Structure 1
Amino acid sequence: MRTLLAAAAGAAAAAVVLPDRLGLDRRHPFTALGALRPHTTAVATVAAGVLAAARHTRPAGLAVGAVALAGAAGLVSRAVPHLPPGGDADLTVLAANVWDGRADAGALAALIARECPDLVSLPESGREYRDKLMPLLDGLGYRSWVSNEPGRPDGWSVTLLVAGRMGDVEVGSGPELRRQHLWARGGLLGNRRFHAVHPQAPMARRQARVWSGDMDSIARWCAALPAPIVAGDFNATLDHAPMRRALNGVRDAAEGTGRGLTGTYHAALPRWAGLRIDHVLVPREARTTRYEVIDLPGSDHRAVLVGMQWPEAA
């Protein structure tokens, strides 16, 4: 009986803490559980201690504890910095979800004016928000593109800003993602593409299927040569298998910074309690010189600012 209880407890804990290892994280509600791995690991650790305290439930406690240990093993390296001190960046990227155009345009403009990012990805920014933001950046040399046609809600759109120093870039879009994305190439990017993205949030069964397809499309882009730069709100963490599969030729810019567990959503939560679903993916050979998570007034997301050295320089 104790063996049966231990097996059941271990299986239940694995489904909650490690749904990606069981191939469940493409399905709702396991997509949400995948995003919550730091939280479910902590809960499983406490549950293991409680179960192990009583003799008749000790085997179950050991089984749940083993699952908690496996969950923790994938988290520790993200919180430990192992990059050398940063240097001058060849390229700076800002990704900031502006929450259906509700983010404080003045605060975002001040951030852009202060940091001068070369490329800016603004999920949930349509024409109305772009038209509020751009006059505040007058004189700074930024050009802007919006993914959706006039009249569509901000939440369905992405805005791309490109600094003047990037040169003559070509900008386009495509049907690969449900929420239309934007890409840029040329100028200082050369043949390398920059993608501004916002995959579907997997909040229900059908949405999880769409999200899974969106992530597969991003994985195909990331397998291209030269490797692209992809920035935005992915609605995914590194504890989702589809997100990890996208890291083919690219890596998360937070890797090695010790900030791989810093939450970007929801902004009302402490950084240690939030979900890190906003990312900048960079070519694997590129070196991260700067990684910051920045509060953005009026948004439910925090912004991500990344400086990198080009692969050739790195």
Structure 2
Amino acid sequence: MKSRRSRARRIATLALAAVLGAALAVLPHVNLVSSPVVAMAQAVLPILLVGALVLSLILCLRRAFIAAAILFVFGGMALLPLFPQTPARFCSESAQLSVLSLNAGRGNANVGVLAEAIRDTDPTVLVLVETSEPMIEALRAELVRGAYGHRTEPVVFGGSVDTVILSKFPLSQEPDAASQTEGALFDAPVALIQHPDLGSLRIAGIHPIPPTHGPTSWAATLRGIDAWQLRQDATPLILAGDFNATAAHPQFRELAKQFQDAVPLLGPLPAGTWPADLPIPALVRIDHILVRGFAVTEAIRIEVPGTDHHGIVARLAVCR
């Protein structure tokens, strides 16, 4: 009797590990936007994988080695999409352009710390989402006068039209890559920048509505930006901002597949960017700088108090 119970427990443990592991492995490939639950689960996939690793260790301690191995292998399969899809391109030239992208936390990011980060990294272009005009003016006051004298049109603070592109060099604003529809979609301003050495380059500030607030609108925005980028000419293109999407979302991978993602690393793993205001490490990477027509030579993560996002600075070299 005892042997039967023990065997039944082993079978149940194996079945549970197989079901949990298979769910993790399949999750990054589920393209379902009618409910925010799937998108939310995909967003927190790194946290789920940490939980799966802990469970695998517990199973090992209980000598359930086969169940632990099943869960570990399936977890590894789920982890694969989180790594950059596009092979890195390295050029012999030194980095000639740099971009800083930050979700400014509804204009609450610490301007002094952000200005210090800008002075330290010396980006050519700034992309700030969830910003406000008072914050932009305070930031300019902290920097060398006229350092970022070129910008897209004033933001309308409130969570929808709140993205600005600031540049050291002249820019002309182009039609948005995505625009509001019945107040649901977040605008994505586009600027064509004239670099004195590199010529023209195009950059879009990205900030779709979170899938928790409107999964259908979120997915539609990502599809719309993807369709927009396919219509662009050969001018080097940068998409930067808070995508509210990770590499575990198939909608993001479809958009990013023709770009190189400037991924800051912590050891061998991609560094998360959200949430940055909790005592636990940021494990979710929803902020991105995607580039086409450039090679990423360096990507670093910056910390700015007052916002729940880490910023990213990407250094780029031209490869034509």
- Normalising by the residue count of structure 2, what TM-score does the alignment of the two structures yield? 0.79
Q: Does the aligned pair in 1 maintain the 2:242–2:287 contact within 8 Å?
A: yes
Is the alpha carbon distance of 1:26 and 1:296 closer, same or farther for their aligned partners in structure 2, counting shifts above 3 Å?
farther
Find the counterpart in structure 2 of residue 245 from structure 1.
254
Distance 1:42 1:234 in 2: 23
Q: Work out the percentage of aligned pairs sharing the same amino acid.
A: 25
Supply the AA of the counterpart residue of 2:284: L
Q: 2:151 aligns with which of 144, 148, 168?
A: 144
| SS of residue paired to 1:32 | helix
Q: Does the aligned pair in 1 maintain the 2:264–2:301 contact within 8 Å?
A: no
Supply the AA of the counterpart residue of 2:229: C
Is 2:238 the partner of 1:229?
yes
| SS of residue paired to 1:174 | strand
Higher gyration radius (CA):
2
Is 2:309 the partner of 1:307?
no
Is the alpha carbon distance of 1:272 and 1:17 closer, same or farther for their aligned partners in structure 2, counting shifts above 3 Å?
farther
Q: 2:167 aligns with which of 155, 162, 167?
A: 162
Q: 1:127 aligns with which of 133, 145, 166?
A: 133
Of stretches 262-271 and 238-247 in structure 1, the one that deviates more from structure 2 is 262-271
Deviations 1:6-40 (A, max 9, x none): 55653444334541223347742121221222221
Is the alpha carbon distance of 1:175 and 1:90 closer, same or farther for their aligned partners in structure 2, counting shifts above 3 Å?
closer
Q: How far is the alpha carbon of 1:251 from its aligned partner?
A: 1.5
| SS of residue paired to 1:182 | strand
Of stretches 35-44 and 233-242 in structure 1, the one that deviates more from structure 2 is 35-44
Of stretches 132-141 and 226-235 in structure 1, the one that deviates more from structure 2 is 132-141
Distance 2:307 2:240 in 1: 17
Q: How far is the alpha carbon of 1:278 from its aligned partner?
A: 1.0
Q: 1:44 aligns with which of 43, 46, 52?
A: 52
| SS of residue paired to 2:29 | coil
Supply the AA of the counterpart residue of 2:100: L
Find the counterpart in structure 1 of residue 182 from structure 2.
none
Find the counterpart in structure 2 of residue 212 from structure 1.
219
Deviations 1:217-237 (A, max 9, x none): 222233333252011111111
Aligned positions of 1:194-213 closer than 5 A: 194-204=203-213, 207-213=214-220
Structure 2, unmatched stretches of 5+, are 1-7, 180-184
Is 2:123 the partner of 1:117?
yes
Supply the AA of the counterpart residue of 2:253: R
Q: How far is the alpha carbon of 1:307 from its aligned partner?
A: 0.7
Q: How far is the alpha carbon of 1:103 from its aligned partner?
A: 0.8
Higher strand residue share = 2
Q: Does the aligned pair in 2 maintain the 1:286–1:309 contact within 8 Å?
A: yes
**Aligned-CA RMSD value:** 3.4
Find the counterpart in structure 2 of residue 21 from structure 1.
29
Is the alpha carbon distance of 1:154 and 1:209 closer, same or farther for their aligned partners in structure 2, counting shifts above 3 Å?
closer
| SS of residue paired to 1:20 | helix
Structure 1, unmatched stretches of 5+, are none
Find the counterpart in structure 2 of residue 92 from structure 1.
98
Q: 2:114 aligns with which of 108, 121, 125?
A: 108
Distance 1:85 1:256 in 2: 20
Q: Does the aligned pair in 2 maintain the 1:18–1:37 contact within 8 Å?
A: no
Q: How far is the alpha carbon of 1:62 from its aligned partner?
A: 5.3
Aligned positions of 1:184-203 closer than 5 A: 184-188=191-195, 190=199, 192-203=201-212
Q: How far is the alpha carbon of 1:45 from its aligned partner?
A: 3.0
- Normalising by the residue count of structure 1, what TM-score does the alignment of the two structures yield? 0.80
Supply the AA of the counterpart residue of 1:157: D
Is 2:289 the partner of 1:280?
yes
Deviations 1:251-271 (A, max 9, x none): 102289967521211113478
Is the alpha carbon distance of 1:59 and 1:89 closer, same or farther for their aligned partners in structure 2, counting shifts above 3 Å?
closer
Deviations 1:42-71 (A, max 9, x none): 22233345457769x877655434322312
